[in-house]
Amino acid sequence: MIVERALLIIKPDAVRNRHIGEILARFEKNGIAVVALKMLTVSRQQIEQIYGIHEGRPYYPDLLQFMGSGPSVAVVLEGENAIEKNRAIMGNTNPALAASGTIRADFGTATNRNAVHGSDGPRTARAEIASLFGPEEFQLSSADGEQRYQSART
């Protein structure tokens, strides 16, 4: 079993349209734990750290503007194969091509307004998480949560 952490960002469009709870529930229903969460307006420096790979592309200036246009919700997900599951639950980057029932198909309106961002690999996940969260912001791991839950039931 490979327990991983992945970053999920619920983007300003999904926050404005009040989809935070519905989005988080999809991960929890699929066995992925939320181990850190905060609402913030992402700074330009943080946006550049996360999306810097896209610098120079025609859509990059709009991406910078959009991601800083209002509050987002940053979430650290943890669980078995969390990165792969995160990508599957989110769906294709283009909502028009995303499978029915995925977050982007249900809540995205365009490729540049697709409701969520998610880590695409372990190295990226570590860097993205570090750009938005400090170690003191983690309250528990998924294993701790299960252990605490089991202790509370007995």
Residues with catalytic roles: 117
Beta bridge partner(s), residue 117:
9
Q: How far is CA 16 from the centre of its chain?
A: 16
Q: Which strands form 3-10's sheet, in the order they lie side by side? A: 33-40, 72-80, 3-10, 116-118
Q: Could you tell me which residues come within 8 angstroms of residue 138 by beta carbon, excluding any fewer than 6 positions away?
A: 35, 36, 76
Written as one letter, the residue type at 107 is F
